[in-house]
Structure 1
Amino acid sequence: MTRTEPSLAGALLDRRYRVEDLIARGGMSSVYRGVDTRLDRPVAVKVMDSRFAGDRSFVDRFEREARAAARLHHPHVVAVHDQGFDTSADPENPRAFLVMELVNGGTLRDLINERGRLDVPLALTVAEQVSSALAAAHAAGLVHRDIKPENVLIGRGGDTGGVVKVADFGLVRAAASAGTTSANIILGTVAYLSPEQVATGTTTARSDIYSTGILLYEMLTGRVPYSGDTALSVAYRHVNDDVPAPSTVVPGIPAALDDLVLRATRRDAEARPADAAKFLAELRRVKAELGVRTATIPVATPPDAPRISRSVPAEDDSELTVPAIPAITEHSGPGPRGTQALPRAMVETSGHLGPPQAEPPTASPRRRPPLAVLALVVLVLLGGVGAGVWWFSAGRYVDVPSVAGLSREEAETALRQAELTPVFTEERHNTAPAGTVIRSEPDSGSRALQGDEVTVVLSLGKPVVPDVRAGASVEEAERAIRAMQLEPRVDAEADAYDAEVPEGAVVTLTPKPGTQANVGDTVTIVRSKGPPPTPVPDVSGMSRDEAFQALRNAGFEPFEAGKEFSPNVQAGHVVRTDPEQGSTPEPGSRVGVFVSNAVEVPSVVGRQAKKAVRILREAGFKVEAEKSRGPVSFVIEQSPDGGTLAEPGSTVTLSVIP
């Protein structure tokens, strides 16, 4: 007989946390709604079952859970605020408890039970937020190990709809410190267990990817891929069967989405994405390829009855958590759904998981039929109850009609005839003509309550690169581009100088405004680098002072870098600059000026040789002259010629007579 844990409602834990209503009860702990009396805020309090209080190893595991979960700070992870021990019931055996963020809303299981399969935008939006949470966990070295709809909470997020919060990191273990569970026990929920968890107990980030793939499959089809009468039969199929494509169950699911699910659920772990960050990138790529926008997540109404635990027959040696009054839905597949603890001996046979043995049928004793009159009364009563059950479970639901391709007026008529309320929104689309319906949310074939709102997405046609004014901020440009369902990009290499647009503001877009594009195309924002830099002016041939003034006028700081010979520039005039003319250094840069040291060669032809030599030497030249053959000689030729420019210290050759 199952033992019931006494309620803690009304207790004050650690002189701070007041316990209120029971929210859920599992095999190892109970979760209550509570209040942090110090901060006056609502919280969820998870209290370990009293029968484990004396188990040191279990207490240690509970503490590890707190530390592991507290390391994660992410908008899609249920936050852990505190951890402690309650001694009010038994000071010798204190009960551990966790204080967590209270998420008001329901679970993904509630949403699937309520709606059946989810439409593609909603399924991808939920999977994206779950993967984002897991990416943070994997980056911190943590593996969840029990991803399932019951652990995906959907809290109320105001005007933006529900927000996904991944809960119960109670089975996580630091991936860096250990890779397996106990050698003899498999922990997890059998419908979502990866093949390696079943076969060897190995648990890595890729195991979470597999479970997320099964989760996405269930959202798209309304059921898990494998079901069976026992946990063992389901585990067998995880190891030996390939997960089928979702489109084999729901025709019309895009091939890219099939591929995403199949890649996440490969039996070979190495063939899956390495971690949630990589899977998230693939999911977002598929989402962009399909032109799927982020959907508003509805918050399902959770069942009134708290979840309680029950034990399955001893030969199954497992424990699962189920709702006290399970929801009935035509989309739910049979088979065990809660967290399982399977003995490995049941699933290992010479390294291969064999098919489960059929269980012998059990005879159910038959009772004699009651009196005819009593039977008639019972039948009448059952008929009334059956009608009520039909109304509250199925009678209130209608099928969402197909409105894709219709005009606004046609879609509104079809939905109102189905007793649904249309709500219209618009978005860009690559192929749907403007004014026609792209899709509905929920999509056609889904079940909805009579009177429910159905979002009808109308096409605005293909996106067009927006006309963003020159001088606008980058943020303005990004908003305008995203409004067209295009992706803005800022690239420093594409930035350009502009004399009129301030530095950092938008000059233009590439492709140019008005260009037709596809949803998700990239538009580059060209930013201004400010006025174009002034080039170094050509000051060659100017005097030193003239050159310095010209450089200052151009915004540079000139300095004399040295002397340099040029046969074409007079002494004291500029030969060149460094940086050279035409280059564009930063305003205010120093520019070196090289001044010519050329000397004009004196003309000495016709002069007496001795006097000619003296003149040339005084001018700074060396002289080579023919030896005079008489008392007086005259220069008849010189090289270089007089009047030319030569380098100081160079040689002038003279020819003399006699």
Structure 2
Amino acid sequence: MESRGAELSGTLLERRYRIDTMIARGGMSSVYLGLDTRLERPVAIKVMDSRLSGDRSFLDRLEREARTAARLHHPSVVGVYDQGVDHREDGELAYLVMEYIEGGTLRDVLHERGELPIPLALSVLEPILAALAAAHEAALVHRDIKPENVLIGRGGTVKVGDFGLVKAIAGAGTTSDSVILGTVAYLAPEQVATGAADARSDVYSAGLVLFEMLTGTPPYTGDTALSVAYRHVNNDVPAPSTLRQGIPAELDELVVRATRRDPSVRPADATAFLNELRRVRTSLGIHPVPIPVPPSKVAAKLPSYKPARDDDPPTEQITAIRDYTDGPTVVKPRVPTSAGPMGTRTMNRSDLPAMAQRQPAGDPAPEDAAPRPSKRDRERARGRRLALIWSVVITVLVAGVGGTAWWLASGRFAEVPQLIGQSLTKAQERLRAVDLVAKVVHEPHDEVPIDEVIRSDPQSGSKVLRGNEVALVVSTGLPEVPQVVAGASLADAERAIKEAKLQPARNASADDYSAEVPEGMVLKLVPGPGTKLKVGAAVTVALSKGRPPVPVPSIAGMTKEAAYAELRRLGFEPEDGGQDFSAEYEAGRVAKTDPPAGTKLDPKSSRRVKVMLSNAVTVPNVTNQRAKDAAKALREKGLDVEIQHLIPGRDDGTVINQSASPGTRVRPGTKIVLTCLF
């Protein structure tokens, strides 16, 4: 791989991707800094080992997994740009083209700092879990979460890489059901035992990464990969506080739950783990902090990125770097030798049982430099050895029978210690000391302080098979009114209140109208969510009475068409109410409504509104007209007419005055008196 890595520098893959500098190497692949000559952007190019590149099943699986990973559009996921196979005279090269992250990996941060401050560890883990949550939602399992696959770039951005790569490698003909594939320091027990992996396997690995960030070391170390794998299957991950003081009990419990050997008791997926992490961080009052960016060890030697030409200077090469673990790393991880093999690798699963029986060989006894003993001395020594052997055999048999009897009678059982009133951390330590497993159940309590044991099941003094669970009911303090969203059903609200150890209550006077919440659905809780109450205290559930009554609008003076449109817009049903006189509005305009404007109508009752139009007659100006013409004009308006002459003698004089001023609105049939001079 080293010589071939040097040969690849300057190579153009499929006439597009130029390989420049090797920046990481593992057992299955090498990673190069390169250039997409078409888009003129730097990229990370992962070139697979030749053993994999020649495997058709691997290439098919790699293409499928690359497509799936490329669909993960998330700010905490390393982008996958392309995948392909470059056909060369010396063989095929399968490769992935990925987003280049200038910076380093979480492994570099751990090497530089050792254990991380708690706020920093949580700030790093949160985007890791966010990336895994996006993958799990897309039904994609990473299978190889480790610090080397967590990249930290400019601005402290955290990204997870190598999605789907282990699954692609596992599908190649070079592996089988009897082979363990992955990074043993972070493999879940089910991956070691059966090869099965799901979202909970990623949760386990992420929990181990959090353990290492908090303590500066993985939980299991060993001289061989199999010895580490064996411990994953047969040992419980200890609480981080056993290696580092000052870790809060809530964080201890979170790590222990995420790394349980039984997948069913871990958080169901990364989303659930992320929610629990945020809850713990909030309860501890820990705020996110800036994430330090590891210095890039290749940045100073990067080639200038410009389109490749014949007159370009040769790409500068960096000396090949040995013993890299898989992953798009940019610097060499310096793993302590005591941590055991850390890289992605394959191992025979059939070798695991032998680990349980393997014992380290003792040093050979020194040779006897004394003269050879006589035959008589040898016979006496042989007799003494036989007597000693029989004594040992009899002692072992007696001890074995006695030990077996003790084990069958009482040795298999452990007595549950006194736990009530103990802190959660202390109670867990007491159970571990007698080979029992704590199952934590939280419950509110009026008097018992937070994180103190209220009771246990079985109770203290009970005999329990070693390795069994003991339920620790731990106080969360005073219960809080739960968060119930507006629009929830009454049954759901009452259930949530009861689960919070409070008592739901109804009070019709608390109900109110709402334009958003449907009638009969929850409007609010009284007191509001987050309020601390005593156990069993009442919480009133206020329901919506539906849409509030709407007042009839004022539409007087509008035309009939405009008035009808406005009523319909507000949800009313307009209908013809006939005519009515109004001195304010001319004929044909709305005079009034029934019910009157401002009347509030309940949406559940009738929403009909009668619209009455004005029948007022506007008196025209008839002065200076001849009496007969003026009278005719008024009668055509529906008015009555009376003509008076100041000087009798003529029947058709000129109108000099009218009893109703021009423009006055009067009722139909009103008498208008016209005064003429003659």
> Which position in structure 2 is the counterpart of 1:208?
202
> Which position in structure 2 is the counterpart of 1:123?
121
> Which position in structure 1 is the counterpart of 2:111?
113
- RMSD in angstroms over aligned alpha carbons? 4.6
> Which position in structure 2 is the counterpart of 1:103?
101
> Which position in structure 1 is the counterpart of 2:347?
342
- Deviation of 1:213 after TM superposition, in Å, equals 0.4
- Deviation of 1:239 after TM superposition, in Å, equals 1.4
> Which position in structure 2 is the counterpart of 1:85?
85
Structure 1 residues 266 and 578: alpha-carbon distance in aligned structure 2, compared to 1, 3 A threshold: farther
> Which position in structure 2 is the counterpart of 1:31?
31
> Which position in structure 2 is the counterpart of 1:371?
none
For each residue in 1:12-67, what CA deviation from the matched residue of structure 2 results, as whole angstroms up to 9, or x when unmatched?
Answer: 11111111111111222211101111111110111123344333233334333422
The secondary structure found in structure 2 opposite 1:169 is coil
Pairing partner for 2:293 from 277, 299, 320: 299
> Which position in structure 1 is the counterpart of 2:14?
14
Matches of 2:324 and 2:105, distance apart in 1: 20
Q: Is the 8 A contact 2:188 2:204 kept in 1?
A: yes
> Which position in structure 2 is the counterpart of 1:308?
322
Matches within 5 A, 1:267-278: 267-278=261-272
Structure 1 residues 273 and 494: alpha-carbon distance in aligned structure 2, compared to 1, 3 A threshold: farther
Matches of 2:151 and 2:24, distance apart in 1: 13
Pairing partner for 1:144 from 139, 142, 145: 142
- Deviation of 1:87 after TM superposition, in Å, equals 2.4
- Deviation of 1:170 after TM superposition, in Å, equals 4.6
1:327 equivalent to 2:343? Answer no
Pairing partner for 2:601 from 554, 558, 583: 583
Q: Is the 8 A contact 1:142 1:173 kept in 2?
A: no
Structure 1 residues 495 and 155: alpha-carbon distance in aligned structure 2, compared to 1, 3 A threshold: farther
- Paired amino acid for 1:78: V
Listed as ranges, the gaps of 5+ residues in structure 2 are: 299-318, 365-510, 516-525, 533-547, 555-559, 579-591, 613-678
Q: Identity of paired residues, percent? A: 56
Matches of 2:42 and 2:96, distance apart in 1: 14
1:233 equivalent to 2:234? Answer no
Matches within 5 A, 1:298-447: 298-301=292-295, 307-309=321-323, 327=334, 334-348=339-353, 355=356, 357-360=358-361
The secondary structure found in structure 1 opposite 2:340 is coil
- Deviation of 1:4 after TM superposition, in Å, equals 5.6
For each residue in 1:356-382, what CA deviation from the matched residue of structure 2 results, as whole angstroms up to 9, or x when unmatched?
Answer: 61354799xxxxxxxxxxxxxxxxxxx
> Which position in structure 2 is the counterpart of 1:243?
237
For each residue in 1:188-210, what CA deviation from the matched residue of structure 2 results, as whole angstroms up to 9, or x when unmatched?
Answer: 11111111111121111100000
> Which position in structure 1 is the counterpart of 2:66?
66
Matches of 1:43 and 1:255, distance apart in 2: 43
Structure of higher CA gyration radius = 2
1:199 equivalent to 2:215? Answer no
> Which position in structure 1 is the counterpart of 2:47?
47
Structure 1 residues 561 and 346: alpha-carbon distance in aligned structure 2, compared to 1, 3 A threshold: farther
Matches of 1:321 and 1:34, distance apart in 2: 13
Q: Is the 8 A contact 1:559 1:590 kept in 2?
A: no
Structure 1 residues 303 and 511: alpha-carbon distance in aligned structure 2, compared to 1, 3 A threshold: farther
Q: Is the 8 A contact 1:13 1:86 kept in 2?
A: yes
The secondary structure found in structure 2 opposite 1:63 is helix
- Paired amino acid for 2:149: N
Q: Is the 8 A contact 1:307 1:322 kept in 2?
A: no
Matches of 1:362 and 1:321, distance apart in 2: 44
- Paired amino acid for 1:535: P
- Paired amino acid for 1:559: E
- Paired amino acid for 1:582: K
Q: Is the 8 A contact 1:138 1:276 kept in 2?
A: yes
Mean Cα deviation higher: 264-273 or 50-59: 50-59
1:559 equivalent to 2:614? Answer no
> Which position in structure 2 is the counterpart of 1:535?
551
Structure 1 residues 283 and 495: alpha-carbon distance in aligned structure 2, compared to 1, 3 A threshold: farther
- Paired amino acid for 2:40: D
Give the total of aligned pairs: 394
For each residue in 1:535-573, what CA deviation from the matched residue of structure 2 results, as whole angstroms up to 9, or x when unmatched?
Answer: 3499xxxxxx9xx99x98x986642599xxxxxxxxxxx
Mean Cα deviation higher: 105-114 or 225-234: 225-234
- Deviation of 1:333 after TM superposition, in Å, equals 5.1
- Paired amino acid for 1:342: M
- Paired amino acid for 2:144: D
